A = this chain, B = another copy of it.
Amino acid sequence: MTVEHMKWWGWGREGVGFHFEDKPAFAPFVEHAVGLDLHSAPAVATPDFADIDVPASQAPDALLGELRGAIGEEHVVVDDLDRVVHTYGKSIRDLIRVRAGILPRIPDVVAYPGDEDDVTRIVQVASAANAVLIPFGGGSNIAGSLEPTATETRPIISVDMGRMRLLVDIDEPAQIARIQAGALGPDLEAQLNAKGWTLGHFPDSFTHSTLGGWVATRSSGMQSDKYGDIAEMTRGLRVVRPDGTLVIRPMPNASTGPSVREMVLGSEGRLGIITEVSVQVHRVPEERVIHAYFFPRWNVALGAMQAIAASDAAPSITRVSDARETAFSMSTSKVRTGTSRILAEEVLPRIMKSKGWDLEDICMSFIGYEGSPAHVRRQRAAVEKIVKAYGGMGVGTGPGVLYDQKKFDTPYLRDFLLDRGAVADVSETVAPWSRLLELYDATVAAANAAYDEIGQPGWIMCHLSHSYHSGACLYFTFAWVAGGDEIAEYETVKASIQQSFVDHGGAISHHHGVGFEHAPWLEQDISAEGVAVMRGLFASSDPQRILNPGAIVAD
């Protein structure tokens, strides 16, 4: 089984990228947003790996020999490209560094276990050799969870789980599937779908992230309103540790002390290597549909989402973009012709204006429904009653179909922009409904203040997704025209945004984890004693400090 990786210098598959030539509104949008003229901006050439100065492997021969003996020669790789691919995730900071060949410390060897016994042998070899273990799924992380500590002097082994991607079995009455941790989203859904089941977990990274990675970072997918986040889906776990395998049997719930299952969720490799996850699965729904709605203004749209969450209605997706993200989304449409053009560009604006809406303020929303046709009909009716009460309007399923088709393509845009001198990334938070508007306003202001500070034109846009009884996730995308020191600029912008989150009732991360990137704000989020408890957990559980040391909390 071959393990494919993303581009060493960017997101996704070789040969796939974002194009703007077929999207007539996109270049004008970018010029309006940050003053960058895509037609004249010079695009850098694809980075050449030969230009990168790769640190030599520091793995002692004895360690390599033992790893080869443990899992087979062909599964122990020391070549430069493989080690660079396993150094970082795909945050914009990672992309900037890897393209520039900034590689202060990279894994010394990549091990590809084929089963749990292989993982056990790798962990035992590492423990005996005092080598560090960093588990690697799809490599899509944007919080710095995969990055070795720059000062690490011991050998570092990246454990790539990509050969372990089988659906082991399905307990049909319990609706629980046992799946190997290295299964990528498409692998896993294909194997489940073939038997009529779905996990229902569709994060933006779906095509390039794994079940084990989702668990290790407490991921959430687009349909979390129906299926829950990965923490709720995860019922059982197997985690290989130096002294043995931690086994959490699949349970619907339990009252057995502090939940060890919940300690593994979000642990980013610090409690061991997750080899298998038992997840709750659902029958593929008879019907699945996404409807689009427009609201006149952001505060009205937030009110509607809150009212839906407080109601008896049970949609599968609730999502609404602010006016800037709405304008962005519209700018990525391909050329429209015929009736579609007339509807989108003439009829719809005319209706909105007749309602007294300012087209600069409109917010586009996607709401999804899944289940039996009767269930879908009822939930939609319940939601649309609320949309109407808030002065919103439905525009049918057309935009939702487009959204569904291109939902996994957005990460490619960052490389496109970076090629042309603009830096973009995302930060997401979650807060109670009572704080969302304040948090939103403050975060937009904080980003703009940061752009002023770095003296570069910038942009920030946002959507609400993942609604809960008590609040929701706000997901911000921010971009600016690079001034020269992209890393320093990034740190200024990112820090402003993160600080705004904690200052206004939000968490430092809703579904991207902590890694090194968000760790500086953890104490402000969960308090000094919260960090102390977590640090104690890691220290007591891994006295040798070989399990991804430094991630989440510095030792």
Contact = CB atoms under 8 A, between A and B. Distances in A.
Interface of A: 171-176, 217-220, 229, 231, 235, 239, 241, 243-260, 262-268, 271-272, 280, 282-283, 306, 310, 312, 314, 371-372, 375, 378, 430-435, 466, 468-473, 505, 507-514, 518, 522, 525-530, 532-537, 539-541, 552-553
Given A434-B171, A470-B235, A533-B537, A258 B266 contact: yes
Contacts of A532: 243, 541
A300 to B, nearest CB: 15
Contacts of A513: 255, 257
23 contacts: A173-B432, A173-B433, A174-B435, A175-B310, A218-B255, A235-B432, A243-B532, A247-B526, A247-B527, A248-B530, A250-B470, A251-B432, A251-B471, A252-B432, A253-B430, A254-B508, A256-B522, A257-B266, A257-B522, A257-B552, A258-B271, A535-B540, A537-B540
A175 B309 CA distance: 11
Contact of A217 (B218, B255, B469, B541): B255
Given A256-B508, A470-B280, A239 B529 contact: yes
B252 A537 contact: no
Contacts of A229: 253
B533 A252 contact: no
Copies of chain A in the complex:
2
B434 A241 contact: no
B249 A529 contact: no
Given A246-B530, A265-B258, A541-B536, A176 B510 contact: no
A250 B525 CA distance: 10
A540 B241 CA distance: 19
Contacts of A250: 432, 470
A271 B174 contact: no
Contacts of A175: 310, 433, 469-470
Nearest to A233: B469
B251 A434 contact: no
A288 to B, nearest CB: 14
A431 B375 CA distance: 28
A171 B255 contact: no
A258 B432 contact: no
Nearest to A543: B536
Given A231-B259, A245-B527, A258-B264, 6 more contacts: A235-B432, A239-B529, A255-B512, A257-B268, A539-B540, A540-B540
B534 A258 contact: yes
B249 A525 contact: yes
A314 B382 CA distance: 15
Contacts of A176: 432, 470
